[in-house]
Amino acid sequence: MSASSQSPLLQVHDLSVWYPAGKAWVKAVRNVDFEIMPGEIVAIVGESGCGKTTLASALVGLRDWRSGELILDGNALDPRQAKTWKQLRTQVQMVFQDPFSSLNPRQTLSEILLGPQRANGISGSAAQIRAIEALEQVGLCATDLNKFPHAFSGGQRQRIGIARALALKTRLLVCDEPTSALDVSVQAQILLLLQDLRKRLGLSILLISHDLAVVRALADRVMVMYLGSVVEEIPAAQLFSCARHPYTRALLASVPTLRIGSPPQLLVGEIPSLTQLPSGCVFASRCAIARPQCKLAEPIFEKVAPNCRVRCPYHGDLA
Amino acid sequence: MSDASLLQVEGMSVAFRAGSGDWIAVTEDVSFSIARGEVFALVGESGCGKSVTAMGLVGLLPTPGAQVLAGRALLDGEDLLTTTKDRLCAIRGHQVCVIFQEPAAALNPVRTILSQLREVCPDQERIESMMVRAGFSDRTRVLKSFPHELSGGMLQRVMIVMALLPGPQLLIADEPTTALDVTVQAQVMEILKQMCKETGTGLLLITHNLGLVAQYADRVAVMYAGRMVESATVAQLLAKPCHPYTLGLIRAVPEGHDSVDSLQPIAGTVPRPAEFDCGCRFRNRCPHADALCIAKPLPQDVEFGHVVSCVHWRAIR
Amino acid sequence: MIFSAVSKERFVRYRANRRAWWSLWILSIAYGLSLLSPWLVNDRPLVLSFDGKLAFPAFSFYADRDFGGTYGTEANYPELLDSAHRAQHSIWTLNPPIAQDPLRADLSAAGEPPYAPSAKHWLGTDAHGRDLLARLIHGFRICMSFSLILTLLSTLFGVAIGALQGYLGGKFDIFLQRGIEIWASLPFLYVVILVASLYGHGFWLLLGIMTVFSWIGLSYYMRGEFLRLRDVTYVRAAKVLGFGHLHIIFREILPNALNPVVTLFPFALIGGITSLTSLDFLGFGLQPPTPSWGDLMAQGLANLFAPWIALSTSIALFITLLLATFIGEGVRDAMDPKSGDRYE
């Protein structure tokens, strides 16, 4: 389980990512704080437009930060400088959603695993050893090194993507919907692999997903995002039983379960545009318990229980 | 079957032409029936042949590399698989309609929604009343919009309207909500089911999501590697699955698991069509497999309405 | 160099197309042989024995004086052979397969050139009395070489500029694109005529001017490919993995962006051949008396009563372009995975 007495591996304060759209700004991520401990699995859930993918991209340097502080192992780093990201390459890596386009079809596995190491200063036999080790850690073998990606299935390609990050001895793996493009039976294999890597290597994992059941089974802690800000933070074990924010409850209620007789409940309204955010609480337009006060000011993200924070002062009203 | 049967498919097999020029059977001996106004789900993972079966029914297989090898598909007594191309053309869009996974790709980007709906049905009143039933509170604005101005969920609801305007007897929905968020999915599926019930249209729902099957379907058939391995009512399938693959599929769903440690993935991978053989195609991944599984498993009745193609179904039950 | 499985598959598909495969062989061998034409199609004997002395006229220069003549210029070998017998020198030669010089006018026959096909001139002569077959073969060599070099250079420029545009995008792309559009709207033919009349009709000058205009088409395709591939997942992954821009351009994107290059190559080749032939036909191309098909076409048109000129040149041009077209179609079919009805 998560180690709570250690210091955090990565801390992020007040992260905002905006990108230009004509004259306006799309405020994709707004003032997000979070931290992750070594060996912890944190999940970020939300639907399209909530900013979870943008957040993940920002954490690996693919998107520019409009504001925010980054602290790795207690050392503050400037996210605007290229050398920060150079340093972070071997610490934070990403696994992408689509296994069929995340590997260059013209490169052998050998090149896929050795290339990034070369780009980060590791070469020769040390790199070779790391590559074989990484392959074995994900359940593939050294004889696969001279094959091309098209010889592998979706699940295997996803493993190769993970191995590529492991070869760099990464400590935080940002997984952007790693199992969405895979079949359910293969999904379970990848989830077990991630769990296994956490146990054996002490790997921290930031899991981006829209599948709440996956999140509950794999993650230690869950952050729910809506329209660019975090609306709830809760331990995964309590997600289905004690969720407090109206959006989280609505999300949980929409999932079609295998239990016949408990049909999904609909969330009314349309999601507002990111270029024209409503004033006050961004969820007020669709919220079942919205009051006039909700449109006046954005609620603060406050702690309501150990390890639980909610951005809704009236969450107690929900049955 | 009974005369409430809208569509009756018997022994349907589809083949694709491989690079060498030979025909490879992608699905084999698929049989099922859909009653009027019923929601029938065809469930399976990628490569099992569910989309191919549905497309084969309405003559939408890619030509010239695919063909229906054998079987009958009786829609109100008329065999869709042997009828003429012209007749199929007339059936499509009138008696049988299809909605696909990507609504944005199915709509013309340079024409308004209204003009595209008018193409299907010139009656303005009917269009408007259907739009209301599809949950559009601001239907005038939506009708005047272009596809790129609407979200994925809205577009899929427009597609549902477009498909139901001609008053078809059967609606085929091929993974209609896979590309949508879960809250939007709930809305779209609810509307789909409701509108089909209201108009008495049968719905053939193709999906890999067991949750959708549980919530929206009346009956379900599970496909694996080109064959139908189990078919039953949804209640029967979820309560007492009899095929090892169905059981594996249900167990692999993360719902209800506190930890991934209790997840049980199905070992191995799905065989490719070139590797299909006559015996049970699941035997390499099945914990119950033995020498009997080398022969082709025949469909057996578990109880009324529940059929399974496995020699060992009793043990699984 | 490791060829990926994708490339191997395409090669196999190409080879399976017998028409394209044979066209490639025929054209390649024909071009290869034509490269040897200075030695194989010439009136200079390969080996000459004059009064017991051995000489190799095809490979080195021998003056008229060396064979008992009075001039210091190169010996005229056909005359030498004729006169040697009369002057009682012993002479023995090993001639090239086609012993005709494309540049030497042979006015020995009766009447005015062009002379009809005969035992001496297998396809007849052109309007100046020069052997037609020799001119066709040398013309083929010059034409194909010109076109090949032109295509290679324009591919290089087109790829480089298109890649930069697509990869960098933004304002750089927009400004450069507008610049290219202005450049593309210049009337290419007039520029060629202008430059050629100012600076002469050299092979390399002509090549230079044409290169400067012909890379534009390919750059459009490469720009499109790079714009598309810039956002593909494995390129984003490469950025996260720490690869620099140069690596991403050359090792990640470029190998996957070469579809248009390979597909367009044969057709660009055809374009080059046609351009040069057209220019020569109009008189704005290579300097006469360089053997060229365009020049022969012009002569053929002017001398329709001597149909062997127009006929043989047209047939030669037709066959060459036909073979190149078959190759191009074969490449296009091999590259396109959805061409036809195969389930992969």
* Residue A298 pLDDT > 70: yes
Tell me the per-residue pLDDT of C37-75, one tens digit each, with 9 for 90 and over.
Answer: 888 888 888 888 887 778 888 888 888 777 777 888 888
Say if the Cβ atoms of B19 and C342 lie within 8 Å.
Answer: yes
Q: Which residues contact B79 (CB under 8 A, 6 or more apart)?
A: B72, B73
Q: Are B210 and A258 within 8 A, CB to CB?
A: yes
Tokens of C149: 């070099």
B24/C contact by beta carbon, under 8 A = yes
C-alpha torsion angle, residues C323, C327, C332, C335 (rounded to 10): 170
Contact B130, B161 (CB under 8 A): yes
pTM of the full predicted structure?
Answer: 0.84
CB C3 within 8 A of CB C258: no
Contacting residues of A for C251, CB less than 8 Å apart: 115
- Could you list the pLDDT tens digit for every one of the 344 residues in chain C? 567 777 888 888 888 889 999 999 999 999 999 999 888 888 888 888 887 778 888 888 888 777 777 888 888 888 887 777 777 777 788 888 888 888 888 887 778 878 888 888 888 888 888 889 999 999 999 999 999 999 999 999 999 999 999 999 889 999 999 999 999 999 988 888 888 888 888 889 889 999 999 999 899 999 999 999 999 999 999 999 999 899 999 989 998 898 889 999 999 999 999 999 999 998 888 888 889 999 999 999 998 898 989 999 999 999 999 999 999 999 988 887 555 544 43
pLDDT beyond 50 at B237: yes
Residue A236, in any domain of the structure: yes
CB contact under 8 A, B257 and A216: yes
The Cα–Cα gap between C320 and C308 comes to 18
Interface test with A, best of C8, C240, C254 (most A CBs within 10 A): C240
Closest CA to C256 of C231, C280, C292: C231
Distance of CA C192 to the CA centre of its chain: 18
C6, C247, C255: residue with CB nearest A119: C247
- Residue contact C5–A116, C-beta within 8 A: no
* pLDDT of A2: 47
Residues of B in contact with C340 (CB under 8 A): 65
Domain assignment present for A177:
yes
**Chain C residues within an 8 Å CB radius of A86:** 242
Instruction: Name the residue range of residue A254's domain.
Output: 10-91+171-317
Average pLDDT, chain A: 90
Residues A1 and B258: their CA atoms lie apart, in Å, by 13
pLDDT at A84 over 50: yes
Q: Which is nearest to B161 in space by CA: B200, B118, B202?
A: B118
HSE-CB for C184 with a 13 A CA cutoff: 14
CA distance C40 to C27: 18
User: For the residues of C51-75, what is the DSSP string, one character each?
Assistant: TTEEE-TTTS--BGGGGT-S-SSBP
Indicate whether B76 pLDDT > 90. Answer: no
pLDDT of residue B207: 92
Q: What is the pLDDT of residue C343?
A: 41
Chains meeting A at 3+ CB pairs closer than 8 A? B, C
Question: Which of B269, B272, B282, B285 to mutate to probe the A interface, most A CBs <10 Å?
Answer: B269
Q: Counting one residue from B and one from C, how many pairs have CB atoms under 8 Å apart?
A: 19
- Rounded to the nearest angstrom, the minimum Cα separation between B18 and chain C is 5
Question: Given 3-state DSSP classes, what are the helix, strand and coil percentages for chain B, each rounded to the nearest 5?
Answer: 35, 25, 40
Closest CA to A66 of A12, A27, A35: A27
Q: How far is CA C25 from the centre of its chain?
A: 16
Q: In what order do the strands lie in the sheet with A67-72?
A: A24-36, A10-21, A67-72, A75-77
Helix, strand, coil in percent for chain A, rounding step 5: 35, 25, 40
* DSSP assignment letter at A29: E
pLDDT band at B3 (very low <50, low <70, confident <90, very high): low
Residue A150 forms part of a structural domain? no
Residue A79 falls inside a structural domain: yes
A61 near A140, Cβ under 8 Å? no
CATH number where A38 lies: 3.40.50.300
Q: Which of A26, A1, A74 is nearest to A277 (CA)?
A: A26
B185 to chain A: which residues are within 8 Å by CB? 254, 256
The full set of domains in chain C, from first to last, is 5-36+134-335 (1.10.3720.10), 44-95 (no CATH)
Lowest mean pLDDT among A89-93, A283-287, C119-123, C337-341: C337-341
pLDDT, tens digit (0-9, with 9 covering 90-100), for A179-200:
888 888 888 889 999 999 999 9
State whether A217 and B259 contact (CB < 8 Å): yes
Taking the CA atoms of C169, C165, C189 and C323 in sequence, report the sign of the dihedral they define.
negative
Q: Which of B187, B255, B263 sits opposite A258 (nearest CB)?
A: B255
CA distance B314 to B291: 17
Chain C residue closest in CA terms to B18: C343
Q: Provide the number of structural domains found in chain A.
A: 1
> Token pair for residue A103?
């590997």
Q: Look up the ipTM and state it.
A: 0.87
A266 with B189: Cβ contact below 8 A: no
φ, ψ of residue B275 to 5 degrees: the values are -95, 0
Query: Residue A218 and residue B258: Cα distance in Å, rounded?
Result: 8
Tens digits of per-residue pLDDT, A224-252? 999 999 999 999 999 988 999 999 999 99
Answer yes or no: is A186 within a domain.
Answer: yes
Q: B199-234 pLDDT, tens per residue?
A: 889 999 999 889 999 999 999 999 999 999 999 999
The answer to whether A216 faces chain B, any CB pair under 8 Å, is: yes
CB contact under 8 A, B66 and C344: no
Segment B142-153 mean pLDDT: 91
Distance CA C295, CA C288 (A): 8
Q: How far apart are the C-alpha atoms of A162 and C221, rounded to whole Å?
A: 34
Which tokens is B152 given?
């994925």
* Both tokens assigned to C58: 């095809």
How far does Cα C262 stand from its chain's mean position? 17
Which residues in A lie closer than 8 A to residue B254 (C-beta atoms)? 187-188, 191, 211, 213-214, 216-217
For residue A24, list its beta bridge partners. A21
d(CA C316, CA A266): 74
Average pLDDT over residues B23-38: 91
User: Are residues C343 and B17, on separate chains, in Cβ contact within 8 Å?
Assistant: yes
One-letter amino acid for residue A102 of the chain: S
State the nearest Cα–Cα gap between B222 and chain A, in angstroms.
Answer: 14
- Mean pLDDT value across chain C: 87
CB atoms B65 and C343 under 8 Å: yes
> Is there a contact between B182 and A48 if contact means CB atoms under 8 Å apart?
no
Q: Which of B45, B215, B254 sits opposite A214 (nearest CB)?
A: B254
Per DSSP, the residues of A104-170 read -TTS-HHHHHHHHHHHTT--HHHHHHHHHHHHHHTT--GGGGG--GGGS-HHHHHHHHHHHHHTTT-
Is the CB of residue C8 less than 8 Å away from at least one CB of chain A? no
Query: Do the Cβ atoms of A217 and B183 come within 8 Å?
Result: no
- Classify residue A311 as exposed, middle or buried by CB count within 10 Å of its CB (0-12, 13-18, 19+): buried
pLDDT category at B313 given cuts 50, 70, 90 is confident
Residue among B183, B253, B270 whose CB faces A254 most closely: B183
Say if the Cβ atoms of B263 and A217 lie within 8 Å. Answer: yes
| Confidence check: pLDDT of A142 > 80 | yes
How big, in percent rounded to 5, are the helix, strand and coil portions of chain C? 65, 5, 30
Nearby residues of B243 by Cβ (< 8 Å), 6 or more positions away: B222, B229, B230, B282, B308, B309, B310, B313, B316
Is residue A240 a part of any domain in this protein?
Answer: yes
User: Which residues are CB-contacts of C303 (< 8 A; sequence separation ≥ 6)?
Assistant: C114, C127, C309, C310
Closest approach of C325 to chain A, Cα-based (Å)? 28
